Amino acid sequence: MDSATLTVADGLAVLTLNRPEAANALDLALKTALLDGLRAIAADDTVRAVLIRAEGRNFCVGQDLGEHAHALTRSPERAMDTVAEHYNPLISGIAALEVPVVAAVQGACVGAGLGLALAADVVVAAESASFATAFTAIGLASDSGLTRTLVDAIGAVRTRAFLLLGTKISAAQALDWGLIAQVAADDEAAASAEAVARRLAAGPTAAFAAVKSLVAASLPPLDEALERERAGAVPLAATADHTGAVEAFLAKRRPAFTGR
């Protein structure tokens, strides 16, 4: 079964995370399939809008921690190569699309899954969806531009608390914070998101491209290398707090942080 699927029809590209049995946790196969799908979208000039959606109860629970634990045992430094190899290219690739991108979110939208959803221009969430950063709970900081995305959307005060406290917020809270654009009843959300995407696919594509360019130009440029340096993603991956928290999660017990 493909970890992600892509369909293109009537100007709408639908990129689907298809690993519902693992809550769409991002393993190498899913990250690679998402990147392949994004490259196909970017190369298809018939695409006038994109819908990113997910099969199953949960949109995406972030990096697959089972795979990550295995990578950590080999090399903590190399374990975070996935940020440069997958996360950054996917986020910057989505941001570089000139056509509008809609994300349909249900269930848990966590960690890199939150980054993926917020890379879209319009997020439509089911009312029972929840949003969390999760990074500090496993001894990491956010990366791949997500810190900047959060500060731009909800401000530095809320971003700091959202990241430090690892708060899980509801779709209604996310809407109230200005993190997402729409909330729909659980049984209507998927159709609502698709309707928004289809409306955009039938709209003034050149005007939409100009809007996206103007909004992007209104934000200070993001230096991903600087973010990784500041966030210390690679040194964080080598801390006992990080490796211990990942082991604790997989063993379904609470982590004990020592600050090292």
| Chain positions contacting ligand LEDWP2DD, by CB under 6 A | 22-23, 25-26, 31, 34, 61-66, 83, 86-87, 90-91, 108, 110-112, 115-116, 132, 134-135, 137-138, 140, 142-144, 146, 249
DSSP category for residue 121 = S
Instruction: Give φ, ψ of 165 to 5 degrees.
Output: -90, -15
For ligand LEDWP2DD, the closer CB: 148 or 212: 148
Q: How far is CA 255 from CA 61, 105, 111, 231, in A?
A: 18, 29, 18, 21
| CA angle centred on 218, ends 60 and 203, rounded to 5° | 65
Instruction: Give φ, ψ of 202 to 5 degrees.
Output: -100, 5
For ligand LEDWP2DD, the closer CB: 69 or 195: 69
Residue 38 is encoded by which pair of tokens? 């994004």
Using an 8 Å Cβ cutoff, are 44 and 8 in contact? yes
* Nearest distance in Å: CB 56, ligand LEDWP2DD: 10
For ligand LEDWP2DD, the closer CB: 11 or 119: 119
- Within 8 A by CB and 6+ apart from 260, the residues are 239, 240, 241
Using an 8 Å Cβ cutoff, are 186 and 126 in contact? yes
Give CA 220 to chain center in angstroms: 21
For ligand LEDWP2DD, the closer CB: 40 or 195: 40
For ligand LEDWP2DD, the closer CB: 29 or 195: 29
For ligand LEDWP2DD, the closer CB: 11 or 112: 112
Residue 66 is encoded by which pair of tokens? 């089972």
CA distance 194 to 207: 20
* Nearest distance in Å: CB 206, ligand LEDWP2DD: 28
* Nearest distance in Å: CB 210, ligand LEDWP2DD: 26
For ligand LEDWP2DD, the closer CB: 31 or 212: 31
* Nearest distance in Å: CB 205, ligand LEDWP2DD: 25
How many residues in total does the chain contain?
260
